[in-house]
Amino acid sequence: MEWEAPSNTTPMPTYSIMNANNMIEDPTQITSDIPVEDVLTWYKNMLTVNIMDGIMYDAQRHGRVSFYMVSAGEEAIMVGSAAALAKKDVITCQYREHGVFLQRGFELKDFMSQLAANCNDPGKGRNMPVHYTGREKVGVHAVASTLGTQIPHAVGAGYALKMEALDSTVEPGVAVAYFGEGAASEGDFHGALNMAAMIQSPVIFCCRNNGYAISTPASEQYRGDGIASRGAGYGIEALRVDGTDIFAVYEATKAARRKALEDGGRPILLEFMSYRISHHSTSDDSTAYRGHNEVSYWNSAQRNPISRLRQWLEAKNAWSEELDVQTRAQIRKDVIRELSLAEKEKKPALKEIFTDVYAELTEEVESQRQELREIMQKYPAEYDINQHKGGLGGL
């Protein structure tokens, strides 16, 4: 018997482009000329996410928002991967992908409207903060808190894109699912990857392995060789990538997209290795389960994805300390301004309590709406009706 023992196989290597000094030794690894302006945009987007995260974390502590999730440590994953995708690509994600939204065109006002659950939120104030609705603007399915459920959605979306492209005048697109290494333990991951391989859906599975699922370290999440090694089990090609190296993230995603469109479409698995510098969310204090040294190790200038790119930019004379200070200050001002503006807006109209469950309001729900209206008319002082657009008339 020749048993296949996991200990016999070597762990999958991690693909990187930048070396330890954040220089690119082998320029042929960059497959096309990326203009420095684009890289600068990436850098500013990473800064924007990071600064917005910091401000919103504090805003939650001050009671200005109910909840927030910081994405520190994963800026290169979010921005770098999104930069390699096409506008028509359809994305499903978990909840720690703010940089994907930003890189694809979300503006500060879009973030703040959702965070403030105001009448400008396309999600109509229904979802918790950071659960953005970005379908129209950036092609991302609305974020749900359920873990892993988005993975098979991307498989189906990819299949729809594939069917659409059978009409050959249409440019083919891919679907992309982002998820953490913890979510990859869910049954939906298994169902999705197996089906994707069988129906040959052009989908890129992007796992953000940031080392933690709330308090559960990766060493308690799986015994195998991470998530990338699972690809083989499904017949799916996979690559492990240094998620703190934005060039590696970008090139890997670009290659994955090209591969996913080969032979009429097929799934590809990417595992981006990084570290969750932040707490899981504002409801979490990670000092309860991990040491300060571990966090500062990954937040150091040599490992933090933002400072890694900054070193590269400064070595190219495309950036400076002075520019950094200025830019950060400007971003800070912009974020605070947009947050304050968003807070002043009204909440969505009260009728949005009931709409969009079905395409049309049912008779039953119409009578419930009427019942609520009568209660609010009878006891106006008991409700903050005027916080909502249109007041009682908006119900």
Partner 1 sequence: MTLCRPFPRSLRSIDGLAAQFRRAYATQVSTASTRRLNVPIDFGATALLHHHRSSLATAPEIPSDGPSSRLNLCQSVNSALRTALSSSEKVLCFGEDVAFGGVFRCTLGLQEEFGKERVFNTPLTEQGIVGVAIGAAAEGMKPVVEIQFADYVFPAFDQIVNEACKFRYREGTSGGNAGGLVIRTPCGGVGHGALYHTQSPEALFCHVPGVRVVMPRSPSQAKGLLLSAIMDCQDPVIFMEPKILYRAAVEEVPDQAFTLPLGKAEIVKPGNDLTIVSYGRPLYTCLAAIEAAEKDLSGLRVELIDLRTIYPWDRQTILDSVKRTGRAIVVHESMVNFGVGAEIAATIQEHSFFSMKAPTKRIAGWTTHTGLAYEKYILPDVTRIYDGILKSMEY
Residues in contact with partner 1 by CB under 8 A are 90, 92, 121-124, 126-127, 131, 133, 135-136, 141-142, 144, 146, 149, 151-161, 163-164, 166, 175, 187-188, 190-192, 194-195, 198-199, 201, 352, 356-360, 362-365
Angle between helix 150-165 and 187-199 (nearest 10): 20
Residues 6+ apart with CB under 8 A from 183: 94, 147, 148, 151, 189, 213
The helix/strand/coil state of 216 is strand
Q: Identify which of residues 163 and 214 has a Cβ nearer to partner 1 in the complex.
A: 163
d(CA 11, CA 81): 23
Q: Identify which of residues 75 and 188 has a Cβ nearer to partner 1 in the complex.
A: 188
Q: Identify which of residues 152 and 305 has a Cβ nearer to partner 1 in the complex.
A: 152
Min dist CB 63 to partner 1, Å, is: 25
Min dist CB 91 to partner 1, Å, is: 11
d(CA 92, CA 102): 15
d(CA 159, CA 153): 10
Min dist CB 361 to partner 1, Å, is: 10
The helix/strand/coil state of 279 is coil
Of 337, 371, 331, 378, the closest CA to residue 354 belongs to 371
For residue 348, give both structure tokens.
Answer: 């969505």
End-to-end Cα spacing for the chain: 71
Q: Identify which of residues 179 and 298 has a Cβ nearer to partner 1 in the complex.
A: 179
Min dist CB 246 to partner 1, Å, is: 28
Min dist CB 186 to partner 1, Å, is: 9
d(CA 16, CA 245): 6
Sign of the C-alpha dihedral, residues 144, 148, 153, 159? Answer: positive
Min dist CB 261 to partner 1, Å, is: 16
Q: Identify which of residues 105 and 380 has a Cβ nearer to partner 1 in the complex.
A: 105
Q: Identify which of residues 155 and 339 has a Cβ nearer to partner 1 in the complex.
A: 155
